[in-house]
Amino acid sequence: MSRDPLTPPDPGGPATPTPLVLAAARPGRIRDLALRASAAFRADPGGAERDVGRMLREARHLHSRERRFVADALYGLFRSDLTLGFLLARGGDDGRGGPEGLARWLGWLVLAEGLPPEDAAATWEREGHGGRPDFARFLRKDEEIAAWAEAAGASAAERLGVEASLPTWLAERLLEDHGEEGGRSLAAAMNHRAPLAVRANTARIDRDGLVARLAGEGVVALPCPLSRHGAILTSRVNAQGLQAYRDGLFWVQDEGSQLVAEAVAPPPGGLAVDACAGAGGKTLSLCASMGGGQVVALDTRGSALEELGRRARRAGAARLRAVRIAPHGPLPPEVARLAGRADRVLVDAPCSGSGVLRRNPGRRYALTSAELDAHPPRQLAILRRMAPLVAPGGRLVYATCSVLRAENQEVVDAFLAAEPGFALLPLAEILGPGPAGRVGDGRFLQVTPDVHGTDGFFAAVLARGKGRGAGET
C-alpha cells in the first residue's frame, strides 16, 4: 500500500517526494502562503487553525488539491515546531540568514515529505540567503536527539518533548499517566493526521445506506471499527460540500466523540440534557438515538448554540431545545424545572484538549501547566451543578477530550466522594463486556489515537440511586 503523501512517513525513512512537494520548496504561491501562515503561527500558536482557515479562504488562486496540501502541510509543520527548532539549532545555525520560517519549512519537507536535503540547500542558496542550515541533519533526527540527550543528561520527559514536539511539562504528564511505552506511543500518534470520520443521521439513514449514498457521490467510506453508526471517509473531499451532507444524512464527528454518545445510551422517548453542547455533534447523536424523546442542549456561548441550531435544522432534529446559561449561578427557570426529571445528563466538560492535539496543533504550545491545573476544579463544579437534573435511577455521564488522569478519573473520584447519591456504573454493563473492553477497561470509556485511531476521549457513567440525589436535603 502506498503512503499518503500528506501523512508522516514510516519510521523506515522518508517517502519519495511528489511534484507538488518539490514545487512547495520553491518561491511561489504555495510556499509563500506556507511562510505567512508559519509566521502567524509563531506569533499566536493558539490561533493556528483560525489563521490557516482564513488564509486558505483568501487564497482563491489555489486549486482544491493545493488547498488540501497546504492545510495538511501546515498542520504537519506546526505539530513538529519544537523538533524543527531543535534540529536547526543543533548545529548552531538556525537559519537566521533567511526569512523567518523558511528554514523550518524546508527542514519539515526534508523530515516528513521526502525532499532531498540537497534540494532544500539549493533552494536556500538560489535565493541568496546566508548561513545555510545543515538540512541533512533532518534525516538524522533520531541520532541527533539521542546524542544530545546523552550529552545533556536529559530526562525521559525532556527527550520525549524534543522527539514529539511537546512542552516538557506535558511530556512529563503523559509519561506519568500512561507509562514509558504508552506515553511515547501516544505522543507519537499526536503527530499524525487524524482521519475524517462522520456519523450517519440514523433518524434518516443507517450506516450502510450512508456508505452506499457516498459511493454514489464518488466518495469511498469504510465503516468505523468501533462506532456502530460511523464511517471513515478515505477519499480526500470537502465533506460539507457533499449533497449527502446538505441533505442532513450525516455530520462530521470523530469516532471517539461518537463513542461518548453511545456511552450515554439515551432511552427512546426519554429526556436527555447535553449540558455543554457546543456546536452539537454529541447533541445530534443523542437526538438521532432517542426516537420521540427530547434533548435539551445547554451552553454558555450563544454563537455555539446558533451553530447547533443550523446543524439541527439540517438534520431534522425537531425535538431539540437549546438554552443559553450563565457560566455560574442558578440555572434558568426552564432548566431548573427539569430537576430530577432527566433520564440522561451529559457533561462533556471544557478541558485541556490534550486528546485532540493532532487536530489542533497549536494547542500543545498554547496550553500551560497552570491552565491544566485550573480545569479539574471547574470540571467538578460543572458536574455537581448539573447533577440535580438527573432523575432517580437516571445517569450522569462525565466526558472530556483529555488523556490526562487529573481531568478524568480524578474528577470522577472527587465527585463520587462529594455526592454519595451517585455510583459508578461500569461501561461493561451498558455496552457489554466485549465492546467495553475494546474501548476502555470495562469501567470507563478511554480511547486514544495510538490504540484506537480515534481522538483521545474519556467518559464515566454515574448512576443516581433511587433515593435522595445530588443537591437534595
Strand ranges across the sheet with 250-252: 221-223, 230-233, 196-200, 250-252
Q: Find the catalytic residue in 224, 276, 287, 401.
A: 401
The strand pairing partners of 399, in sequence order, are 348, 459
Is 401 an annotated catalytic residue? Answer: yes
- Position 415: which residue type? F
Q: Report the alpha-carbon distance of residue 292 to residue 157 in Å, rounded.
A: 51
Q: Is 359 helix (H, G, I), strand (E, B) or coil?
A: coil
Q: By C-alpha distance, which of 258, 212, 217 is closest to 238? A: 217
Pairing of strands 320-324, 294-299: parallel
- Position 402: which residue type? S
Provide the terminal-to-terminal Cα distance of the chain, rounded to the nearest Å.
63
Contact in structure between 263 and 438 (CB atoms under 8 Å): no
Contact in structure between 357 and 364 (CB atoms under 8 Å): yes
Q: Report the alpha-carbon distance of residue 51 to residue 54 in Å, rounded.
A: 5
Q: Report the alpha-carbon distance of residue 438 to residue 226 in Å, rounded.
A: 8
The strand pairing partners of 222, in sequence order, are 232
Residues 43, 45, 47, CA angle at the centre, nearest 5°? Answer: 95
Contact in structure between 393 and 267 (CB atoms under 8 Å): no
Q: By C-alpha distance, which of 203, 260, 204, 202 is closest to 231? A: 202
Per-residue DSSP letter, 70: H
SS3 for 419-471 is: CCCEEECCCHHHHCHHHHHHCECCCCEEECHHHHCCCCEEEEEEEECCCCCCC
Take residue 416 and report the three cell numbers written for it. 463520587
Q: Is the dihedral of CA 97, 100, 101, 104 positive or negative?
A: positive
Contact in structure between 138 and 110 (CB atoms under 8 Å): yes
Take residue 31 and report the three cell numbers written for it. 510556499
φ, ψ of residue 386 to 5 degrees: the values are: -90, -15
Which are the catalytic amino acids?
Answer: 401
